[in-house]
C-alpha cells in the first residue's frame, strides 16, 4: 500500500518537474526562470527522498543535503546575477 502511494507521489513530482521545466523554458522573464529552477531543486530533493524510501537505503541522504545547499547557492547566485550582472565582485572594483 505504502509503496503504491510513494510511486504515485513520485509520478506527481515528475509531472511537477515537467511543468516547472515548461516555466523555465518559456518563462517570460529571468526571475520566472530562477524561481522555476529553485522549485525544480526542491522537487528533486523530495523525489530523491521518496526514491531512497522505495529503495530502503540511507545512501542518498548526502545527495539531499548537497542538493539543498546547491539549490540555495544557485538561486542566490542567479538572483545576484539578475540584480547586478556579476556573481563574484572583485576587490578592485570597489
Q: Which of 5, 7, 31, 89 binds another protein (CB under 8 A)?
A: 7
How many CB atoms are closer than 10 A to CB 9?
13
Task: Rounding to the nearest 10 degrees, give the CA dihedral for residues 39, 44, 46, 50.
Answer: 160
73 in contact with another protein (CB under 8 A): yes
Alpha-helical regions (H) of the chain: 2-26, 30-54, 61-84
How many CB atoms are closer than 10 A to CB 72?
12
Instruction: Please report how close the Cβ of residue 75 comes to another protein at its closest, in angstroms.
Output: 11
**Residue 6 and residue 45: Cα distance in Å, rounded?**
14
28 in contact with another protein (CB under 8 A): no
**Comparison of 66 and 89: residue with beta carbon closer to another protein:** 66
Residue ranges binding another protein (CB under 8 A): 7, 10-11, 13-15, 17-18, 21, 24-25, 30, 33, 37, 40-41, 44, 47-48, 51-52, 55, 57, 59-60, 62-63, 66-67, 70, 73-74, 77, 81, 85-87
Amino acid at each position: 500500500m505504502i509503496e503504491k502511494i510513494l510511486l504515485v507521489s513520485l509520478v506527481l513530482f515528475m509531472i511537477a518537474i515537467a511543468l516547472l521545466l515548461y516555466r523555465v523554458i518559456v518563462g517570460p522573464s529571468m526571475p520566472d526562470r530562477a524561481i522555476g529552477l529553485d522549485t525544480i531543486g526542491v522537487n528533486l530533493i523530495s523525489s530523491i527522498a521518496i526514491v531512497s524510501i522505495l529503495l530502503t537505503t540511507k545512501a542518498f541522504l548526502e545527495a539531499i543535503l548537497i542538493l539543498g545547499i546547491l539549490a540555495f547557492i544557485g538561486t542566490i547566485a542567479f538572483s545576484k546575477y539578475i540584480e547586478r550582472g556579476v556573481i563574484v565582485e572583485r576587490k578592485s572594483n570597489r
